[in-house]
Amino acid sequence: MIPKTTSLLIVEDDDVDYKLLMRSFAQRKIANVTVRAKDGLDAWEKIKSGEIQKPFIVLLDLNMPRMNGKELLTEIRNDPDHADTVVFLMTTSTDKNDIKESFSKHAAGYFLKDNVQGSIDKMVEVIDGYWQIVILPS
């Protein structure tokens, strides 16, 4: 289980995907604080304002309005206070350039939302296991 001090910033504009994600967290009994942002700009404002405090992980959709996931990931990596933030991408994009660019910006993982419920359940399972063995910078 994710340590209680770790929060989750979920950057997802699709309400259905967000609800499926929250249902999967609940089924695994992951009860950490979650903060939702509906696009990259909203997420960046929450990060910069301190609404979400370290340690936290980001579950980031790539395709969103206003500021997309690639742009947000760039902002995070360019900010010395947040460059070490753990970011997992979750997307429908199978574009090789999206995958390569995400990992070049040190994404912790790139999850494909192809079979949405099944993909989300597997993604949450991986993240839950990841946090059981990882120590985060605070």
Domain boundaries defined on the chain: 7-133
Domain boundaries 7-133, CATH class = alpha beta
What is the average pLDDT score of the chain? 88
Q: What is the 3-state secondary structure (H, E, C) of the chain?
A: CCCCCCEEEEECCCHHHHHHHHHHHHHCCCCCCEEEECCHHHHHHHHHHCCCCCCEEEEEECCCCCCCHHHHHHHHHHCCCCCCCEEEEEECCCCHHHHHHHHHCCCCEEEECCCHHHHHHHHHHHHHHHHHHCCCCC
pLDDT at residue number 136: 74
List, for residues 67-109, the tens digit of each pLDDT value: 999 999 999 999 999 999 999 999 888 999 999 999 999 999 9
Rounded Cα distance between 62 and 105, Å, is: 13
Where residue 116 falls among pLDDT bands split at 50, 70, 90?
low
User: pTM of whole model > 0.85?
Assistant: yes
Dihedral sign (CA 83, 59, 131, 138)? positive
12-37 confidence digits (pLDDT tens)? 999 998 999 999 989 988 878 899 99
